[in-house]
Every structure is written in C-alpha cells, then in structure tokens.
Amino acid sequence: DYMVHARFSNVSGLKKKAAVTMAGVEIGRVEDIRLQDGAAVVTLRIHKGVELEEDVIASIKTMGIIGDKYIAVSAGASDQRIPADGWIRETQPPLDVEELVSRFVFGTMEKKGE
C-alpha cells in the first residue's frame, strides 16, 4: 500500500477507515484526517497495484441517502501518475444534503404562499 493526500474545503461526516473507491471498486481506505491552514487534509491508503493518474478527482460521497461518507476517485486521463506521498490536486467537498432539503422545502413553501 501507499499513501496519497487530498485537501478538501469540508469533510463533514467523513471518518477514518472510510472506503476509497474508483468505479465502485474499493481501492483503499481513509488513513487520517487533519486540519491544516483552515482546510481538511485527508491521507488515503491506496492498495498496492492501483495507480492514480495525476488528474483524478476525489469527491466525498454518501452511501444511500443518509449513509456513511466515502471518497470516490474518478479515473483520470493523464500519463503522469501520483507518486507515493503525492497529492490529489482536484477535490470536491460533500454535497450538503440538509442545505438542499431546506432550500427545497422553504422554496416550495414560498411558492404556495404567493
């Protein structure tokens, strides 16, 4: 196994040992989560034999509607690989489901009252 790092603006709900997947297949686990310069730095333990292109995107997703958070890594197209202890440059924080739901609920309520 080897480690790579990713910086996220928010990792709300993500825990150590969470799955890291690519195309729905587990390729590793979250090793560590720490705060650095106001951002969350997540260290991923990637299985030996799995190579990550330097242009992959790491996104925090939720299993089901209110399930556990995990990291989905989308395959890249670059010829360059991320070395051990390297960084995933492109990340997407989790979708804020509560915010979406409240926006939907309050949005529809306002329309009914017009």
75: confidence class by pLDDT, cuts 50, 70, 90: very high
**Mean pLDDT value of segment 19-45:** 97
pTM of the model: 0.82
Q: What's phi and psi for 83, nearest 5 deg?
A: -75, 165
28-42, 65-79, 91-105: range with lowest mean pLDDT: 91-105
Instruction: Please indicate whether residue 66 or residue 82 has the higher confidence score (pLDDT).
Output: 82
Answer yes or no: is pLDDT of 43 > 90: yes
